[in-house]
Each structure stands twice: as C-alpha cells, then as structure tokens.
Amino acid sequence: MEVTTVASPALWAGFIAFVLALLALDLGVFHRKAHVVGFREAAGWSAFWIALALAFNGLIWWRFGPKLATEFLTGYLIEKSLSVDNIFVFVVVFSSLAVPPIYQHRVLFWGILGALLMRAAMIFAGVAMLERFHWMIYVFGGFLVFTGLKLLRQTNGEPDPQKSWPMRLIKRVLPTTDRYEGNHFFVRRDAKWLATPLFLALIMVELTDVVFALDSIPAIFAVTRDPFVVFTSNIFAILGLRSLFFLLAGVMDRFVYLKIGLAAVLVFVGLKMALVDVVKIPSAISLLVIATMLGTSILGSLWVSRNKEGPRTAE
C-alpha cells in the first residue's frame, strides 16, 4: 500500500536542503574551531533550536491547519522528552571513555548526523509497515507499554560502556589506539589505520540513538501516521540534542522523577496505539496529557532537588 503524506516532493526537498544548510553552517562556521561549549552558549543554541521548531510548527498550522500542527507539536514534545534519556547515556559514555570536553561537540555532531539518516530509514519503514499491516500498531503499542513499565522499574545506574558487548566486539575487529589524537577519528601508524577512542565514542553514540529510536519513533506513530510530520518533528528534536546535552549534562542528577514521567508517557502512547480501534483520543488531548506528565515530573524533580540542596549549602 502506498504511503500518503500531505507534503509535496518539493516541500520534502526544501526541508532536507534547509536541514543540510543548517548543519553546514553549524560545523563550518559556528563550530569550525573546536572549543568547550559553555552553559551560556548551550542555552542560546537550545533557545534557537526550540524557536526554530516552533516557527516551523506555525508554518505547518498556516499551510495544513491546526490538526497537523498539533500532531507535529505533540510528536516534537515526545521526541524532545525521550531524547533527554539519551543524555544520561551520553554522559556515561563520555565519562567512561574520558572524552575531552573540547571534542565532545564533534562526536555529537557526527553522531547526530548519522542518527538523522538512520531515523529517516526507520520512519519510512515504520510508516510502510503500518500502512500495509494494520495489526503492527498493536505490536508497537504493546512494546511501548512494556518499555514504559520496564523503565519505571529500572533502579540500577547506566552500564559501563567499556564493558558492553558492542564495545568489546568493536575492539576485537577494529584496530584501535589507547590515546586520543586530537580531534581525529582515525590515525595512521606504521602504514596501518587505527581508530582512536574518539571514534569508539562516536560508535557508542550512534548505537545509543538506534536503541532509543526504537521507543521514540513508534511513540510518534501513536500521534500521527503522516511521514512528513513524523520525520520533521524527529529531526527538529534531534537537531537540538547537542545543545541540550551541554545545557543539562551537569545537572542530570537533579531530575530524579524524570524517568517516571518518561515511563508514563510511553505507557500512555502505547495504550493509545493498542486501543486505537476502540478509543479515539484527539491530538489536542494527547498533547495536554503528555505535557502534564512531563511538566509534573520535571517540576517535582526540581522541587525535591532544591530542598535537598538547602542543608548541603548551609553546611
């Protein structure tokens, strides 16, 4: 069955060209010279990416109407919130591999560029599967409910990437160095190319995104089936992931209830998918429920963390 979308081929091409231009400006102009991204710079870029996504949302409202605009905003909020879980793992990966802060932006840039390509393939494959096999929506829904409940019960910290089987496999099949060689992913030694720890960090970032995409992409299918809305909401959320990392990496321990909020979102969208033929939940209601869940978990986390910091500061 043919996949249908409201967007014309020209709009698809224009959006992809726009994203590529943004990435070229990012790497070739604004981050041409490697440097440590500070809090103020990260906050500025985060505000820029969010404002750009909201402006695009306004464009969708103007061009296609409020229903599709609400679906885009809901999908963007889902992806943005679930991408915060990526940051937990990125922090562990960079810490475990001792990635110098000055090179972390380079790893995230190329990691996210690869993520954009992989997610595009996964989105189109997912849409085609749902169009052809309607029963797959129940599988996706059940998977999201299971993932949400599993996340809710998760109490252990993130595993050490150095001891993970992907890292052991990479080191077994790929010759590597034990030290960083500036911002290079590969170096040549004795007529032989060797991967640096920076490339290992890049591989782990890519694998992490694939794993989390298995949750986030089906979650957006619960909101909309239009590939253009799914793709653009995903892309805008991923584009802002780097600045969000540098903004939140140092304070992730304060969001003690965030995983509960994310688990609730996954269970909600999973149930919405599984019951799609029984109960029709409007996009506006879904947006309100998801925003409430995330807002409550974030505000609750900040309130608890604030109360805990008081005695330590006084001491």
pTM above 0.75, yes or no: yes
* pLDDT class of 61 with cuts at 50, 70, 90: very high
Residue range 117-143, pLDDT digits in tens: 888 888 877 777 777 777 777 777 787
Residues 213, 218, 221, 225, CA torsion sign: positive
Choose among 45, 10, 15, 65: nearest CA to 234.
15
Residue extents of the structural domains in the chain: 38-158+216-307
**Does 297 have pLDDT greater than 60?**
yes
Residue range 103-112, pLDDT digits in tens: 888 888 888 7
* pLDDT class of 156 with cuts at 50, 70, 90: low
Residue range 176-234, pLDDT digits in tens: 887 888 888 888 887 788 888 888 888 888 887 777 777 777 888 878 878 888 889 98
